[in-house]
Structure 1
Amino acid sequence: MTLTASPSTAAEAPGGCPDHVGSVVDHRRLTGERALYASRDLTIAHSTFADGESPLKESRGLRISDTVFEWKYPLWYCRDVSVTGGALLETARSGIWYTDDIRLDGTLVAAPKTFRRGRGISLRRVDLPHAEETLWSCREITLEDVNATGDYFAKDAAGVTAERLRLTGNYAFDGARDATVRDSVLLSKDAFWNCENVVVENSMIVGEYLGWNSRNVTFVDCTIQSLQGLCYIDGLVLRGCRLLDTTLAFEYCRGIDAEVIGHLDSLTDPADGVIRAGSIGEQIIHPDRVDPAATRIETGWSPQAVA
């Protein structure tokens, strides 16, 4: 979806309101750079920020509802911001950077590169159709019922909790730390690379090369489809997972503790640990590369047998 700015007959405030503290801005069309710069305890409703960069830069205590942002950098260096409804158009690029304690609920964020180096970010019922390079290097992130499309989502993010996330885009969560994802669907090549302390529960992940070069990664009750997925991981745990059409898994993984429901097409050169599966199509082990005795591989495993 692409949203574009439309003309308005509403009154314009070229230089912003004369009083930016503790006031209400309602049904206004604001233009010009820094239209409401450094506002404090401001309520904004049913308004449009048209052409003009950084309209609310350095503001605090903003309550924004049903408002449209049409231009770049609307919420930089802000603190304590609540946004309900409304939209950031595709032209509102790089919209929310260096901003802490911000909450979006029911908002359409059509702009790419939103959220950078912020802390305390909550997104609920938010759609991000152009989520390229979004949530980079952010901390303390909560995502609930978020739909996102775009590559490199949440790169180098830390302290992430995501529930019912629907993500389409490659390289998701590259370099993430301390992340928990539940009840979600990720269509993502190279997801969770270079990560540390990740837990994914009751989710589906589709995309090759899942999880490479990561540490302490756990999947619980997940369905995974990944060519050469789950390789080069230190501390990999699978609990009751299904690996669909997944080949050449576990290469050079250390500290494996894997329970695979049903069939695993193939594995290759795990470094050490335990792999349990209902059946395994091909086991490729090169003794000159890994110690075959360091990994215990069991077939005929099922959750019922454990119970």
Structure 2
Amino acid sequence: MQLITNQTFGGERSLYKLSDAKLDHVTILAGDSPIKHGTNLTLTNCDIEGKYPLWINTNTVVDNCLLKVTARSGLWYLKNFKVTNTRFECPKSFRDSDGIEIRDCTFTDAQETLWSCRNVLVEKSSFDKGDYLLAHSSDIRLKNIKLNGNYLGQWGRNIEVFDSEIHSRDAFWNTENVSCYNCTLDGEYLGWHSKNLHLVNCHIKGQQPLCYCENLVLENCTFDPDADLAFEYCTVHADIRGAVTSVKNPTSGEIVADSIGEIILDGNALPPANCKIVTRK
């Protein structure tokens, strides 16, 4: 394997079609597509400024690197990409890629990140300004993440989330087969128009959560007082611990809670309009 260390590169396609190489303490200055069409690469302790730096690469490992603001749209069309201990200051990282592992990373501007990606694992990482994270992506596993950004996972499929803190308006809209375990889900209009959304031991915050859902399941979940007007037009099986401020026009299934402040059944529920609503006390 070729070793490239303590060097600086700039300009367009400065390391084009590089293969079987390790870059250590390398600086990539301004310029388009510096490491495009790379194969079997390892980058450690590198600073990257050039835009579109890693496109159409296969079998890449990145550790302890910095992608600066100017490295926007930096990692697209990848296959088998692993990144650890790295700081992303640029938006639109990762798109149309397969086989992505992200661990112990920080994204300070995660807008439009991880779009149309498949087979993604993210652990112990944070995403700020993360609007539309994971849009149109599938086969995702998230563990110990923190997100501040709206519209998480829209149009996503087959997503699992564990032990995470999600602050996201309109999270999981139009999704299919999403499961969350031991998470805080904070944001208005959670899960609308979803199919097969499964929440276990989760705390739910934000107005009008979980409406227009098909086959919604909640197990041992809690609701914040601001989470009102829940379950409108849903087919739902919900086991809720503690109080729910209000429930409105669920379609079918069963909702069990310790207490419900208001049950709104105004005749506008969709048929069969036979959801069973039960309070424990």
State the TM-score, normalizing by the size of structure 2: 0.97
Task: Say yes or no: does 1:231 pair with 2:190.
Answer: no
User: Cα deviations across residues 11-69 of structure 1 (Å, max 9, x unaligned)?
Assistant: xxxxxxxxxxx311100000111111011111100010001111110010001100011
Partner of 2:104: 125
Determine helix, strand or coil for the equivalent of 2:241.
strand
Given residue 252 of structure 1, which amino acid in structure 2 is its aligned partner?
A: Y
1:249 to 226, 230, 233: 230
Establish whether residue 54 from structure 1 lines up as the match of residue 33 from structure 2: yes
1:236-282 per-residue CA deviation (whole Å, 9 max, x = no partner) reads 0000000112100000002x110010000001010000000000000
Residues 32-47 of structure 1: pairs in structure 2 closer than 5 A: 32-47=11-26
AA at the equivalent of 1:56: I
Does the CA contact (< 8 Å) of 1:53 and 1:73 recur in 2? yes
For the pair 1:273 / 2:253, whether they are aligned, the reply is yes
Pick closer, same or farther for the CA change 1:192–1:271 going to 2, 3 Å: same
Q: Secondary structure at the match of 1:164?
A: strand
| Partner-residue secondary structure (3-state), 2:120 | strand
The 3-state SS of whatever aligns with 2:134 is coil
Count of residue correspondences: 279
Structure 1 residue 292: deviation in Å?
7.4
Give TM-score scaled by structure 1 length: 0.89
Of 166, 171, 174, 1:186 maps to 166
Match of 1:160 among 140, 149, 156: 140
In the alignment, is residue 170 of structure 1 matched against residue 150 of structure 2? yes
Aligned equivalent of 1:202 = 182
- Where does the alignment leave 5 or more consecutive residues of structure 2 unmatched? none
SS at structure 2 position matched to 1:234: coil
**In structure 2, C-alpha distance between the alignment counterparts of 1:69 and 1:112, rounded to whole Å:** 14
- Where has structure 1 moved over 3 Å in runs of 4 or more? 288-293
Aligned partners of 1:219 and 1:238 also within 8 Å: yes
- For structure 1, which runs of at least 5 residues remain unmatched after alignment? 1-21, 302-307
Once residues 250 and 45 of structure 1 are traced to their aligned partners in structure 2, the CA distance between those partners, rounded to angstroms, is: 53
Q: CA–CA distance in 2 between the matches of 1:205 and 1:142?
A: 20
The alignment's C-alpha RMSD in Å is 1.1
Q: CA deviation at 1:291?
A: 4.8
Distance, in Å, in 2 between the alignment partners of 1:79 and 1:240 is 42
3-state secondary structure, aligned to 2:51: coil
- The more displaced of 287-296 and 91-100 is 287-296
Task: Give the CA deviation at 1:290.
Answer: 3.4
Q: Give the aligned partner of residue 111 of structure 1.
A: 90
Q: Secondary structure at the match of 1:191?
A: coil
Alignment partner of 2:40: what SS?
strand
SS of the residue 2:54 aligns to: coil
Higher strand content, 1 or 2: 2
Whose radius of gyration is greater, 1 or 2?
1
Asked if the contact 1:31/1:52 (under 8 Å) is kept, the reply is: yes
Query: Could you tell me how far apart the structure 1 residues matched to 2:82 and 2:113 are?
Result: 15
Deviation string, structure 1 residues 205-229 (Cα, Å, up to 9, x no partner): 1100000011000000000112110
